[in-house]
Amino acid sequence: MTAIKGIGVGLAMAVIALAFLGSASAVPPRAEGRIYANGELYATFVSTTVGDAPGQSFDALFTFPGTDLISVAEAAPGEAHYNGGRWIQLAVTFTGMAPEQFMDDSEVWFHYNLGHLTITDTGGRVICPLFSL
């Protein structure tokens, strides 16, 4: 009988833990923005702009002004080098190819190295966390 009670309590605790994890990872309603990182689409929202801070405390966020393309981040949650959604905004301009949606920063750098696009630091520093969809 005690073993059955123990299983019941353990099962109840597991259900509560799963419910908590599900609600903790839910996408906030205001997270209408989208960003690609490592081939995955994430939800986001800009929470604030950031003043001066050490460069190593930011990751690169590639934006595509003048297009409808979704921004691409160089890091994502779960990676050791992810800085929690602190971004240096870099503007990508297509010069040697038609605008194309990238899903990973390696694609951006590949085309940059081929001379197909330019990358410019916009001076923008923002905090916008990424949430799994």
Q: Could you read off the pLDDT of 36-63 as tens digits, one per residue?
A: 999 999 999 877 777 666 667 799 999 9
**In the predicted model, is pLDDT for residue 120 greater than 60?**
yes
4 has pLDDT over 70: no
Tokens of 37: 């990182």
For the entire predicted model, the pTM comes to 0.76
Q: What is the pLDDT of residues 66-78, one digit of tens each?
A: 999 999 999 999 9
| Listed residue (92, 98, 85, 96) closest to 128, CA to CA | 85
By the 8 A CB rule, do 95 and 4 touch? no
Tokens 């966020």 belong to: 61
Tell me the CA distances in angstroms from 12 to 4, 5, 51, one per residue in order: 12, 11, 46
Q: Which residue has the tokens 């990751």?
A: 59
Mean pLDDT of the chain: 81
Distances (CA, A) of 53 to 60, 90, 124: 14, 16, 12
Ranges of beta strands (E only) in the chain are: 33-37, 40-44, 48-49, 59-63, 71-73, 86-94, 117-127, 130-132
Amino acid residing at 50: V
Six token digits for residue 62: 């590639």
pLDDT at 47 (0 to 100): 78
pLDDT: which is higher, 8 or 78: 78
Q: What is the pLDDT of residues 97-116, one digit of tens each?
A: 999 999 999 999 999 999 99
